[in-house]
Structure 1
Amino acid sequence: MKTTQPPEIVYKPVTGGGSAVDLQSLRKVHGRGRQAVTALHDINHSIPSGSFTAVMGPSGSGKSTLLHCAAGIERPSSGSVTLAGQELARLSERQLTLLRRDRIGFVFQDFHLVPALSVAANVALPLRLAGRRPDRYRLEELLSTVGLFDMRRRRPAELSGGQQQRAAVARALVTGPEVVFADEPTGALDQASGHDVLELLREAVDDLGTTVVMVTHDPQAAAWADEVLVLADGRLVHRLTGPEITVEAIAARMTVLRG
């Protein structure tokens, strides 16, 4: 049977402008008593809707903890997180699960694709888990966007690392989320494959209006963002925006922090 290319479909998350993620006096402590370690100290920051934010810092600076609290994966010790218009502290665990499922996308360093499923089935999985029937044309258009339409029937093991991560990006976008959280999405990729993944995330922001929040250690990856937040010892110590965001400026800032 001859395969016909699906019609072009535009994905547009529902956003109301303003802030996609709002952090107020955010504090996170791991452990208790003498063993307590403060991972985040009084973080205050708003991430605009439809923007690309990179979060950087030395190892142990609190980058992943910040992402986990912002995404509702971990609850802060104090302070508040408002995500997609919902104050997370007010939500039950079930409500948090539904929020993450329906309005948030996730991209991880290790892809987290299901080995037994085809590329298309992996991308459609969030819809299936939500009890929603995937629209074939919408799914195929998304696969075309990430360059995997001709590989949609393959299993993850048949793909390169870069192709697997592109499938993971498509899976994160398939529900039309308001925010995509990406944790070191290029960390396991070569430079060319990493460039492809960053280009997809950038296009999600520019073309779809998605908000992307990305943790990275790589100045070249961070340079794709609209703003770069720099953490040190759990504190937000620097913010770069606009013309300040260059690979050289980011690398210099990180060199100073590493001492």
Structure 2
Amino acid sequence: MQLRSVRRIHGSGDGAVAALDDVSLSFPRATFTAVMGPSGSGKSTLLQCAAGLDRPTSGSVSIGGTELTELTERGLTLLRRERVGFVFQSFNLLPALTAEQNVALPLRLAGRRTSRARVRDVLDRVGLADRAKHRPTELSGGQQQRVALARALITRPEVLFADEPTGALDSRTGREVLAILRSLADRDGSTIVMVTHDPVAASYADRVVFLVDGRVGGELSAPSAEEIAARMTALEAVPC
């Protein structure tokens, strides 16, 4: 997946704000990248443009050779449904459905055949094979996030986007979710892009990309949580 010279301008005239300003990044297959930066640095906008949830003002975004900026709205919807997975801080599970029904939902919405074996396989992958019949209210926060992760995996996405996936979890369950994300890159060859504010979470990634005022402000390769925290402290100390 690649972003080339991506700009995203909000507003117009004197009130225009560049949420992203000439951002070029590559996210190779089978890698796990964390995106960090001070508040308002453009992290969420980067994720939305990369995932086809928002269109850049200029520049290009491509996933597996498909140029997203050239797709119609229907084309973007199909791409997100079939080739992209999402995990958010809020689990977004339907309370009336069981875990296995929540996981199968993307396939049902796409009109695709739902294989119970496939559903059970992804639930087993996230350690919840024995919770298939439980509804969200019968699950802990960490279990709900793992159901949400299984739901994202059911379509075998090329790229998985995670927006603060451990933000609502305690440290132990957060580590469990991060270990699953790590294994998706290592074992399945998935491309993982995670926005986070947590240096410990970011340390699970192969690299950490830092954004500052909508621009790439450097990156670290295989860093420790301490190195990430030190870089973030330095970035946040820079006057606007």
Shorter-chain TM-score above 0.5: yes
Give the drift of 1:142: 1.3
Is 1:93 the equivalent of 2:73?
Answer: yes
Matched, 1:76 2:56: yes
Pairing of 1:37-186 with structure 2 (within 5 A)? 37-186=17-166
- How many Å separate the matches in 1 of 2:118 and 2:19? 41
Question: Helix, strand or coil: the match of 1:172?
Answer: helix
SS of the aligned residue for 2:176 comes to: helix
Which letter maps to 2:17? V
Is 1:22 paired with 2:20?
A: no
Shift of 1:157: 1.1
The alpha-carbon deviation at position 149 of structure 1 amounts to 1.1
- Partner in structure 2 of residue 255 of structure 1: 233
Map 1:174-253; keep pairs closer than 5 Å: 174-242=154-222, 245-253=223-231
Percent of matched pairs sharing the same residue: 61
Contact 1:52–1:213, Cα closer than 8 Å, also in 2: yes
Query: Any idea what SS the aligned residue of 1:48 has?
Result: coil
In 1: Cα distance, 2:133 partner to 2:65 partner: 37
Deviation at 1:147, TM superposition (A): 1.3
* Code of the aligned partner of 1:227: R
**Rounded Cα–Cα distance in structure 2 between residues aligned with 1:232 and 1:54:** 14
RMSD, aligned α-carbons:
0.7
| Residue 84 of structure 1: how far off its partner (Å) | 2.3
Deviation of the 1:128 alpha carbon:
0.7
Deviations 1:13-54 (A, max 9, x none): xxxxxxxx1011000111111211110110011110111000
Task: Compute the TM-score of the two structures, normalised by the length of structure 2.
Answer: 0.97
Give the equivalent residue in structure 1 for 2:13.
Answer: 33
Residue deviations 1:141-168 (CA, integer Å, cap 9, x gap):
2111111111111111111110000001
Name the aligned partner's letter for residue 148 of structure 2: A
- The amino acid across from 1:236 in the alignment is V
User: Could you tell me how far apart the structure 2 residues matched to 1:96 and 1:196 are?
Assistant: 31
* 3-state SS, counterpart of residue 27 of structure 2: strand
Is the CA contact 1:25–1:42 (under 8 Å) kept in the aligned structure 2? yes
* Cα distance in 2 between the residues matched to 1:79 and 1:90: 11
**Alpha-carbon shift at residue 258 of structure 1 (Å):** 1.1
* Structure 1, unpaired ranges of 5+: 1-20
What TM-score comes out, normalization by structure 1 length? 0.90
Alpha-carbon separation, structure 2, partners of 1:233 and 1:46 = 19
Q: Which runs of 5+ in 2 are unaligned?
A: none
Q: Is the 8 A contact 1:84 1:103 kept in 2?
A: no
SS at match of 1:253: helix
